[in-house]
Amino acid sequence: MTDTRPTIRLKPKANARAIRHGAPWVFDNEIVTDRRTRALAPGTIAVLEDEGRIPLATVAVTPGSRIFARVLDRDPAAEIGPDWLRARIAMALAHRERLHDAPFYRLVHAEADGLPGVVIDRFGEVAVIQPNAAWADRLANDLAEAVVEVTGVSVVVKNAAGRARALEGLDDDSRILIGEDPQAVAVPMNGATYVADLLGGQKTGLFYDQRPNHAFAAGLARGARVLDVFSHVGGFSLAALANGAAQALAVDSSAAALTLAAEGAALSGVADRFATRQGDAFDVLAALADEGAQFDLVICDPPAFAPAKPALEAGLRAYERVARLAAGLVAPGGYLVLCSCSHAADLAKFRTSCNRGIGRAGRAAQLVHTGFAGPDHPQHPQLAESGYLKALFYRLMP
């Protein structure tokens, strides 16, 4: 098999040992490039060799990307086809079925589940695939068929809205691959019911990664006035209301997301305690301060302000600003939850920015809990980017 596929080779100073030990990415400055390798079509399956031409792994190649090759299998002779896809998805499914009684979870978390660049979220009878790497986009139909065969879902949606797709030279054409348009789907989680737009919503329609952090925040929310900023479809606020919060205000710039949040509140039976406010989060935070508003629990879960290293410093300043504005709205003895999904901002940097913002607001705080993504979002031990989500829970002192 290997002699029918193209080969690419590591430079002499590249770290072949890292690949042998499981590193999933090979960067463009680690590969011997010539006219032949640069001409390989994005998504080509190839054999990676070390400098001595000893085969190391089966990889998917994207010559125009900073990540030149993604390791698909440490077996250089692996055949990347339907059987291989079914085996990887079955392995991922076995883990999720141990975690969750109902079929609502992240089914595949990219490199950590052995499917580089592939995200698959399951919503009951519907699966949403984000093929964020060229090889996966080329095999999207095969992926969809494998998901149906392994899980038994009846609908598979391709969501092409991921930021990473542009880096791979891929389009943004989202569509139904198998079955009929699922429209909006009701998702039970943490005692609440959410409404997810699986074709036109953000990412795959719902953020499963925050599930344990929603739950922890909900435990602090009994009897509380809750402010959920960057709320999307009401992730934190609906969980809080379902677990005894007195009232909640969801703030987001997207009218469509807030409409879905309101529908979820109605389905959860908490509509009488739920309100929404559309607008730029920074503007709304400042306006609430001018109004003298106070909340017992304030949560801010913004989009990635620092998705890559060039945006890191500006992103950290934005996190500090969020912390400063939000801290001023927390009643004495109340709680502030600050989240980051930025790959480039590690936990230490993010925490420093949040601490600085709280201090600039003139508030003293206790850090009572640090949360991460749920176990259906496993981390790849050799890929720090797979542990992207951080949630800091503070108690603000009188």
Residues tagged active-site: 341
Residue identified by tokens 């606020």 is 237
Pick from 29, 31, 33, 37: which is nearest to 5 by CA? 37
35 exposed, middle or buried (CB, 10 Å; 0-12, 13-18, 19+)? exposed
**Interstrand relation of 184-189 and 7-9 (parallel, antiparallel or unpaired):** unpaired
CA distance 166 to 160: 10
**Buried residues in 41-50 as b, exposed as e (16+ CB within 10 A):** ebbbbbbbbb
**CA angle 333–335–336, rounded 5-degree value:** 135
**CA angle 155–130–184, rounded 5-degree value:** 45
Q: Where are the beta strands (DSSP E) in 270-389?
A: 274-278, 295-300, 330-340, 365-371
**The length of the chain, given as a count of residues:** 398
Handedness of CA 272, 274, 276, 282 (dihedral sign): positive
User: In a 3-state reduction of DSSP, which class is residue 331?
Assistant: strand
